[in-house]
Amino acid sequence: MALHKYLVFFCLLAVVYPKSLKDDSVQEDIEEYIANKQLDINPRYRLHYHVIPPVGWMNDPNGFSYYKGEYHIFYQYYPYDSVWGPMHWGHSSSPNLVDWKTLPTALVPEEEMCFSGGAVADGDTMILMYTGRVVTDEEPYFNETQYLAFSNDGIQFTKYDGNPVLKETPNNSPDFRDPKVWKHGEHWYAIIGSKTDDETGRVLLYRSLDMINWEFLRILGESTGEMGYMWECPDLFELNGKFVFLWSPQGLAPQGDRFKNIYQTGYIIGNFNYETFEFIPETEFEELDYGHDFYASQTAEKDGKRYQVAWFNTWEKTHPEAADGWAGALTMFRELELVGDRILMKPVEDMITLRGELVLDGELQKDDTIDFDQTGEIIIKADLEKKIEILIAGRNGGDKVWIRWDPEVGKVSVDRSGDVRQVKWSPISSHSWRLFLDASSLELFCGEGEVVFSSRAYPDGEWSLTNLSPQVVNIEAYKLRRSVPYP
Active site residues: 60
Amino acid at 277: F
Query: What letter does residue 227 receive in the DSSP assignment?
Result: S
Rounded CA separation 452/443 (Å): 7
Rounded CA separation 219/192 (Å): 10
Q: Report the SS3 class of residue 47.
A: coil
Which residues sit opposite 338 in a β-bridge?
343
Length of the chain, please?
487
What are the Cα distances from residue 8, in Å, to 11, 15, 49, 125, 181? 5, 11, 40, 11, 22
Q: Report the SS3 class of residue 167.
A: coil
> Is the distance from CB of 370 to CB of 393 less than 8 angstroms?
no
Q: How open is the CA angle 333-334-338, to the nearest 5 degrees?
A: 155
CA 398 centroid distance within chain: 26
Rounded CA separation 209/187 (Å): 5
Rounded CA separation 5/122 (Å): 11
Query: What letter does residue 182 receive in the DSSP assignment?
Result: E
